[in-house]
């Protein structure tokens, strides 16, 4: 389990916007390590884990994007049924709400990596490290 800083980019929900964000990051020599896009009627939110958070934030802001930062947890789980259930139940029993999660089973052999946005990062980190 690792605490990370995620960037959230709010932008117009229209063709080419994701490409603009990716171009800005590539030009800043920043690699995207995790990504999630949520759509709304007129606005989309891109959530990013990147190789250089300060450089990415600067480049995106200079390009005119609205950027915010959130603390998230990067959690590695066994890639098997019930692994996320265990994490979600442990956090819920401790009163920590999972606001959203994204990820994939693309980690080391037999592992899944998930990004969790929770209401209490400190408590969640302690619970998941036990």
Q: By the 8 A CB rule, do 112 and 76 touch?
A: yes
pTM of the entire structure? 0.86
Residues of the chain with pLDDT below 70 are 106-108
Domains of the chain: 7-69 (3.30.2130.10), 72-129 (3.30.70.260)
Cα–Cα distance measured from residue 86 to residue 101, given in angstroms and rounded to the nearest whole number? 14
- How many residues make up the chain in this entry? 130
Could you give the C-alpha distances from 42 to 12, 15, 18, 39, 65, in angstroms and in order? Answer: 6, 12, 14, 8, 15
Torsions phi, psi for 119 (to 5 deg): -75, -25
Measure Cα distances from 128 to 55, 80, 82 in Å.
30, 17, 15
Closest CA to 64 of 12, 101, 128: 12
| Whole-number pLDDT of residue 82 | 93
Task: Provide the pLDDT for residue 108.
Answer: 59
Residue 110 has a pLDDT of 73
**pLDDT given at position 130:** 76
């Amino acid at each position: 389990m690792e605490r990370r800083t995620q960037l959230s980019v709010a932008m117009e929900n229209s063709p080419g916007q994701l490409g603009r964000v990716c171009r800005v990051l590539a030009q800043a020599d920043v690699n995207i390590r995790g990504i999630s896009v949520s759509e709304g009627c007129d606005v989309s939110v891109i959530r990013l884990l990147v190789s250089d958070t300060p450089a990415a934030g600067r480049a995106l802001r200079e390009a005119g994007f609205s950027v915010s930062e959130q603390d998230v947890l990067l959690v590695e789980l066994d890639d098997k049924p019930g692994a996320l259930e265990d994490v979600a139940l442990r956090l819920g029993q401790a009163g920590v709400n999972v606001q959203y999660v994204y990820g994939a089973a693309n980690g080391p052999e037999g592992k899944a990596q998930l990004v969790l946005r929770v209401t209490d990062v400190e408590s969640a980190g302690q619970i998941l490290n036990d």
